[in-house]
Chains A and B, each alone.
Chain A
Amino acid sequence: MTDQRSQADIVRRSLKKRYRKEKRFRAYGVLAVSIALGALVILFADIIGKGWTGFIKTTITLEVMLDGDSMYLDDPTDADQRAMADFSAPIIAALQKQLPEVLEAGELRQLNRLVGSYGSNDIRDLLRAQPELLNTSQTLTFLASDAVSVYVKHSDNPSYSIRLSEQQQHWVDQLLAKGVIETKFNNVFFTSGDSREPSNAGILGALVGSLLTLIVTLAIAFPVGVAAAIYLEEFAPQNKFTDFIEVNINNLAAVPSIIFGLLGLAVIINTFGMPRSVPVVGGLVLALMTLPTIIISSRAAIKSVPPSIREAAEGIGASKMQVVLHHVLPLAMPGMLTGSIIGMAQALGETAPLLLIGMVAFIVDVPDGFFSAATVLPVQIYLWASSAEQGFIELASAGIMILLTFLISMNALAIWLRKRLERRW
């Protein structure tokens, strides 16, 4: 009796300690989750804080008199005349009308610096497309130069340096007050390729490049990966040789990605003579890289199909191929798709293997096919982040937001597909 009571006593006394231990254990878990969440919040806050201004552009809207005499142009359809014409003259004249105190030639040049470098190209392209507009007055909107844009958006931020002279700042303040200089939603960012002028630079080229590259990757890696997994899981005999293959596939999944780039350079470009910097080569290299991931996850998905389903199918006389195609594959598909999309997401963020095959490059034109020069989203972000011009800082962060959106939508697609195709048994 006394013994039992003392035992209960011991248990009761240690109970408090056990509860405390459990509470502590839970607290560690909460702490771990909050560290992870905190890091994520800091990351997002930093990127969004730096990058939201990338979605804003600074424009100058002017009433421009397209005066043929001042441009030395009387026939805009003549290429030789266009080459010799001065398309910046009408812009300077229009700015001067807004700021009547500017008279000297040196000051006029300073004035011209307010408009982005390609303002005169806009006028040329307009006249080329619509020659009848010569000698008419048009209201045109130009992109402001990088220096003006930084001044308008970041004049109160000490980490940006203002490269406008006092005089220019005074002009910009005046034009802002008049509503000639405005800030608007940056549609250029979504409709153009890269540029060395931050206000003209856009993400579309890289976005299309990433899409084309991923299409090639998926088209190669998915069928090959699934076929390899089905063969290895359903048909291959169990022997030393298939063990050897399995070990090698697992090893391949751990090979650093730059190695695949070297392979691409040596085999695809140097041996087969494929061109550099094109999505086909990039897609091939990334397909090799994602193949092991797809094979491994597809095999796991096939393994998780219960044997009772195979046996039932065989029991009613289905052939091996019918069992696989009609029963195993549909049930394993959600798992295979999830694995593939994770592999694709990994490929989307990869830059190292692309460095060697020339996709880390300055490419202005938006790619129009699998064989035109292209770059991809993470490369574009890297190129902007390493540029000297200040306007690219915000573009790099804005680019990261686009990349993350792309990634999240791919993951959402994976979840949706899994939910749709999933069958319970």
Chain B
Amino acid sequence: MKLKAAFASVALAGSIAAVSTPAMARDTISIVGSSTVYPFATVVAERFGRNTDFPTPRMESTGSGGGLSIFCQGIGTQHPDITNSSRPIKKSEFDLCKSNGVEDIVEVRIGSDGIVIAQSAQNEALDLNLEQIFLALAKEVPDPSGAEKLVPNPYNKWSDISSDLPDVAIAVMGPPPTSGTRDAFVEIAMEGGCSVYPFIKAMPRNDFRATCRSIREDGPFIDAGENDNLIVQRLSRDTGTYGIFGYSYLAENRNVIQAVTVDGVEPTPETVGSDEYPVARSLFFYVKKAHVGVVPGIQEYIAEFTSEAAWGDNGYMVDVGLIPMPRANRMEVAKRVKELTPMTAADFK
């Protein structure tokens, strides 16, 4: 008897699962993409859900590259509608989208985020320039003897690079290669430091990129995964370690960590917004135009994102660490987005 009851309940559960037919027409906006944009976009999504009658969009944090590759899988409600990115879409990704039938993509630039190099708050203040960052972290660096050739990175202590830097072993925790923060860091900081050497700059474009963007794998650079809190915790305990992450984590943890100034500039909302602080990047999201009108609320979500209340100088995204664009740029982006102007191949020069 008991057995029959057990079987009946299991069968009942099974039939419930089978009866509820797949709701293929989706009514919730599906968003994937960058872990850097995630904290901003989730705040917008939640506000949007609470202030309108649309359901709250669901958001996955997959990294910029991962997000774009899922986004470009095709048209249809099993694919996401929007992907967040902490770097502009690449030509190769645009082509992948096209080949899968995702023709019209609308780009929305939302503001900037500074990438900070941070250390324990107990340490003395430190200033690095881009060249020193490159020398500390690159896989191959110019021969210290001055010859114009590349050698495997010989520097193990900061003081090996310059005598006025601290006499401690180089240990820098940073994001993994799938992260947009890493992409932006190598592109802005490493390439910037690399361009100081004329002979590297004279290399063919691909060699130049490969040299400048390769991060050393012999120990001093520690891949910390996508969890920036982990880096913060480690820095607060270990005074010899430095960490690379987005500005919002610095703003939240000022009592335990401090920023290393780069080229003498401290990262603040003002210096990042005005491009005075050298290691800053723009943040974006991309919308599948074919899904607008199919999945309800996409246009309203974009409108919420690009409203002054959200991305303006006193908007709520500023509270979570976004650095707003100048007002003129905001107006221009908002206008283009309202008309849903798609990107064309000409946007990639």
Contact = CB atoms under 8 A, between A and B. Distances in A.
Interface of A: 117-118, 121, 158-161, 195-197, 215-216, 218-220, 222-223, 269-270, 273-277, 280, 283, 329-330, 333, 358, 360-365, 369-373, 385-390, 421
B308 to A, nearest CB: 14
B167 interface: no
Interface string B38-67: 110011011001110001101111000000
Contacts of A158: 255
Contacts of A358: 30, 32, 60
Contact of B60 (A361, A364, A365): A361
A291 B50 CA distance: 40
B229 A385 contact: yes
B304 to A, nearest CB: 12
A360 B62 CA distance: 9
Given A276-B78, A358-B60, A360-B61, A219 B14 contact: yes
B76 interface: yes
A158 B256 CA distance: 10
16 contacts: A196-B39, A216-B17, A220-B17, A275-B23, A275-B77, A276-B80, A277-B60, A280-B17, A360-B60, A361-B58, A362-B60, A371-B23, A372-B23, A372-B28, A388-B252, A388-B320
Given A219-B10, A220-B14, A223-B14, A273 B60 contact: no
B229 to A, nearest CB: 5
Contacts of A270: 73
A365 B60 CA distance: 15
Contacts of B16: 215, 219, 370
A196 B46 contact: yes
B155 interface: no
Contacts of B229: 385-388
A402 B255 CA distance: 30
A373 B20 contact: no
Contacts of A220: 14, 17
A270 B16 CA distance: 24
Contact of B249 (A269, A372, A388): A388
B2 interface: yes
B55 A161 contact: no
Q: Which 9 A-B pairs have the closest CB atoms?
A: A161-B255, A364-B56, A219-B14, A219-B13, A362-B59, A361-B60, A373-B58, A388-B252, A371-B23
Contacts of A360: 60-61
A367 to B, nearest CB: 10
A280 B18 CA distance: 10
B327 to A, nearest CB: 20
A98 B58 CA distance: 39
B191 to A, nearest CB: 28
Contacts of B51: 121
A373 to B, nearest CB: 4
B26 A223 contact: no
Nearest to A265: B70
Contacts of A276: 30, 60, 78, 80
B20 to A, nearest CB: 5
B22 interface: yes
A361 B59 contact: yes
Given A389-B252, A421-B2, A274 B22 contact: yes
A389 B249 CA distance: 9
Nearest to A361: B60
Nearest to B59: A362
Contacts of A273: 24, 76, 78
Nearest to A333: B3
A316 to B, nearest CB: 20
A333 B17 contact: no
B195 to A, nearest CB: 32
B107 interface: no
From DSSP, what is the main secondary structure of chain A's interface residues?
loop
B228 interface: yes
A362 B45 contact: yes
B254 interface: yes
A387 B59 contact: no
Contact of B49 (A274, A365, A370, A421): A365
B317 to A, nearest CB: 11
Given A276-B78, A365-B55, 13 more contacts: A160-B255, A216-B17, A218-B13, A223-B14, A275-B77, A277-B60, A333-B6, A365-B49, A370-B16, A373-B30, A387-B39, A388-B249, A388-B320
Contacts of B22: 274-275, 280, 371
B341 interface: no
Contacts of A195: 46
Given A161-B255, A386-B228, A388-B321, A196 B42 contact: yes
B208 interface: no
Contact of B58 (A222, A223, A277): A277
B227 interface: yes
B248 interface: yes
A93 to B, nearest CB: 20
Contacts of A365: 28, 49, 55-56
Contact of A117 (B49, B56, B316): B316
A108 B28 CA distance: 37
Contacts of B6: 333
Interface centre among A215, A277, A361, A372 (most CB of B within 10 A): A361
Contact of B38 (A118, A275, A362, A372): A362
Contacts of A388: 39, 228-229, 248-249, 252-253, 320-321
A364 B46 contact: yes
Given A121-B51, A370-B17, A388-B248, A218 B38 contact: no
A388 B38 CA distance: 11
A223 B10 contact: yes
Contacts of B255: 158, 160-161
B2 A364 contact: no
Contacts of A222: 10
B28 A373 contact: yes
Contacts of B78: 269, 273-276
